[in-house]
């Protein structure tokens, strides 16, 4: 019996999705649980898989088209089988494996939004739309929604903001000032190649630029001696392996950061114009490099885990991140972030804050270097640990006390 692949629900407030890429062509065989297409929303990129084996008989929604949740995307069945009539789903769906990425908005509308046959704003919006509206002080009642039931989508709010910005610029420009055409993009030469941006790369770019515009970044750097940690790891990594966990140095750094966050709770916070939000939960994001870019799975309630629990969780999240198997809630709710850029050989970095968090810890490569201890030259495993923080929340001394606490824990590990 033919089955229908439908646009699945992919989280609260997500009412539509875009078919990013079909991984199978019409007439091609599909195995059970094999990826069939990629779906994008303003929150996640999803690899959709078929529940039943068969042949992809018909693709109903082309690549690049955005459709509401529940829309039939394709039909899978046996060759020669009659296609089901109608557009409603018969209940068979796709399983999804999301990874966070924000869909890049299309080019802005050429004219300011005005009343149209489309239904107006209904009062229900996604968190992304809410954030953009708040940041740009937009009255949503004047924005025309093109989503289902008049819902305002991300592209609607971005188009409105861009249009208002252009109108404002034209108003403040002096009449006698001649308009200057923007410089054209440098033409491609025979030896150059244009590689289109992926959705994830555009999302990363958007997040990084927004973060730099949102908070004043300041970075402080300490040098850590990992002698005590290295000795502890050498003595316990075999037992941890028997317990199903690979004991990495990342686990030690996160464990120390958690203890420091308890002692300095202001670091586990977020800035708001009306006050500082102190987070009771300690949810540590761990920046993880994947083939498509960067993803930050979150260790929820990290303060409730011992070193073994942290090691297991780190291994699990990192492995599933690299295999696009994370769930939506596993990349949300972080209150503090660690990026271990040392795994790629980097000694020193100034990471960008993962908004709306207070700061991000960067761990450089641990390598043996010469160090003077008690007026004697010694060789120790050392690493530079940087802390980039929001200067609206923390002053230099407060930030240094926080990193100093982590340093003390690491260097006196027992």
The answer to whether residues 314 and 254 touch, using CB atoms and an 8 Å cutoff, is: yes
Q: 149, 281, 329, 391: which is the annotated catalytic residue?
A: 391
Residue 361: which H helix or E strand, with range?
A: strand 359-363
Whose structure tokens read 């000032």? Answer: 177
Rounded (10°) CA dihedral 331, 63, 2, 50: -30
- CA 36 to CA 391: how far, in whole Å? 46
- CA 316 to CA 304: how far, in whole Å? 17
User: Is 400 labeled as catalytic in the residue annotation?
Assistant: no
- CA 297 to CA 283: how far, in whole Å? 10
HSE on the CB side for 78, CA within 13 Å? Answer: 2
The answer to whether residues 37 and 21 touch, using CB atoms and an 8 Å cutoff, is: yes
Tokens of 44: 């996640």
- CA 409 to CA 414: how far, in whole Å? 9
Tokens of 347: 């000694």
User: Is 391 labeled as catalytic in the residue annotation?
Assistant: yes
DSSP 363: E
CA distances from 45 to 92, 174, 301, 333 (A): 20, 45, 25, 18
What pairing do the DSSP bridges indicate for beta strands 359-363 and 66-68?
unpaired
Q: What SS3 state is found at 37?
A: strand
Q: 149, 281, 329, 395: which is the annotated catalytic residue?
A: 395
Tokens of 126: 């996604």
Query: If we measure between CA atoms, which residue out of 57, 55, 1, 50 comes closest to residue 29?
Result: 55
Q: Which amino acids are annotated catalytic? A: 391, 395
């Amino acid at each position: 019996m033919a089955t229908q692949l439908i646009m699945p629900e992919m989280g609260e407030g997500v009412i539509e999705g875009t078919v990013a890429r079909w991984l199978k062509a019409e007439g091609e065989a599909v195995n059970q649980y094999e990826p069939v297409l990629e779906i994008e929303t303003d929150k996640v990129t999803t690899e959709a898989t078929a529940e039943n084996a068969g042949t992809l008989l018909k693709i109903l929604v082309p690549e690049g088209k955005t459709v509401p949740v529940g829309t039939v995307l394709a039909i899978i069945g046996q060759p020669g089988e009659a296609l089901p009539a109608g557009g409603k789903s018969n209940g068979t769906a796709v399983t999804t494996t999301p990874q966070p990425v924000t869909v890049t908005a299309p080019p802005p509308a050429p004219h300011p939004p005005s009343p149209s046959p489309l239904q107006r704003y209904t009062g229900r919006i996604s968190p992304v739309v809410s954030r953009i509206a708040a940041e740009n002080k937009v009255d949503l009642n004047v924005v025309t929604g093109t989503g289902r039931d008049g819902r305002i989508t991300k592209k609607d709010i971005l188009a409105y903001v861009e249009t208002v910005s252009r109108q404002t610029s034209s108003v403040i420009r002096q009449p006698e000032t001649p308009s200057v055409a923007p410089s054209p993009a440098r033409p491609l030469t025979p030896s150059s190649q244009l590689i289109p941006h992926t959705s994830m790369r555009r999302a990363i770019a958007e997040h990084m630029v927004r973060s730099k515009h949102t908070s004043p970044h300041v970075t402080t750097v300490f040098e850590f001696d990992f002698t005590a940690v290295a000795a502890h790891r050498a003595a316990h990594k075999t037992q941890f392996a028997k317990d199903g966990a690979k004991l990495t140095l990342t686990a030690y750094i996160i464990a120390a950061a958690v203890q420091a966050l308890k002692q300095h709770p202001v670091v586990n916070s977020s800035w708001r114009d009306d006050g500082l939000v102190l987070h009771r939960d300690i949810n540590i994001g761990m920046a993880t490099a994947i083939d498509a870019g960067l993803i930050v799975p979150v260790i929820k309630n990290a303060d409730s885990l011992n070193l073994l629990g942290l090691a297991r969780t780190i291994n699990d999240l990192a492995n599933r991140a690299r295999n696009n198997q994370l769930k939506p809630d596993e990349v949300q709710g972080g209150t503090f972030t660690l990026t271990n850029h040392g795994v790629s050989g980097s000694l020193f970095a100034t990471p960008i804050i993962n908004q709306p968090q207070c700061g991000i810890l960067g761990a450089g490569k641990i390598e043996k270097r010469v160090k003077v201890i008690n007026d004697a030259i010694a060789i120790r495993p050392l690493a530079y640990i940087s802390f980039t923080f929001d200067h609206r929340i923390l002053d230099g001394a407060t930030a240094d006390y926080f990193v100093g606490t982590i340093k003390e824990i690491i260097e006196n590990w027992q």
